[in-house]
């Protein structure tokens, strides 16, 4: 399974290094990184993730901190092969049922 890891506020993904190092053999981890030379909005980060980091095979997005909204925006575009979304300690707010309903059918909810 491919795991796309979206970083926190620093944009580097360094906090994922232990996870990547000790990930099981079946997990192929990719850590997205945001440019350090400019600030990007949530939609701009989601566009970057969609353009540069989405794998061609089945994958799960794991997002922490700042990247929660980025992950939600990315998932809402229904990228092919997206199988799941994991958010932890994110800047995302509790979604309304209307918002959840837009992408829930994709995941069989």
* Each residue's pLDDT tens digit, 53-77: 998 999 999 999 999 999 999 999 9
The per-residue pLDDT for 90 is 84
Residue 78: band (very low, low, confident or very high) from pLDDT cuts 50, 70, 90: very high
Residue 48: band (very low, low, confident or very high) from pLDDT cuts 50, 70, 90: very high
Pick the CATH number of 2-107 from 3.20.20.140, 3.40.50.1820, 3.40.50.620, 1.10.238.10: 3.40.50.1820
The mean of the pLDDT values for the chain is 88
Residue 50: closest CA among 83, 73, 68, 16: 73
The per-residue pLDDT for 2 is 95
Q: Which helix (H) or strand (E) holds 87?
A: strand 82-90
Q: How many CB atoms lie within 10 A of CB 84?
A: 13
Q: Which residues pair with 62 in a beta bridge?
A: 5, 86
Burial 31-60 (b: 16+ CB within 10 A, else e): bbbbeeeeeeebeebbbbbeeebbbeeebb
Whole-angstrom distance, CA of residue 71 vs CA of residue 102: 14
């Amino acid at each position: 399974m491919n795991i796309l890891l979206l970083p926190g506020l620093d944009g580097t993904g360094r906090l994922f290094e232990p996870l990547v190092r000790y990930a099981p053999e079946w997990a192929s981890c990719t850590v997205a990184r945001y440019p350090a030379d400019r600030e990007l909005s949530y939609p701009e980060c989601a566009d970057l993730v969609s353009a540069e980091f989405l794998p061609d095979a089945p994958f799960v997005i794991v997002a922490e901190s700042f990247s929660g909204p980025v992950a939600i925006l990315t998932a809402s575009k229904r990228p092919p092969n997206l199988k799941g979304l994991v958010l932890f300690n994110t800047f995302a707010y509790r979604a309304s049922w209307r918002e959840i309903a837009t992408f829930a059918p994709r995941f069989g909810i």
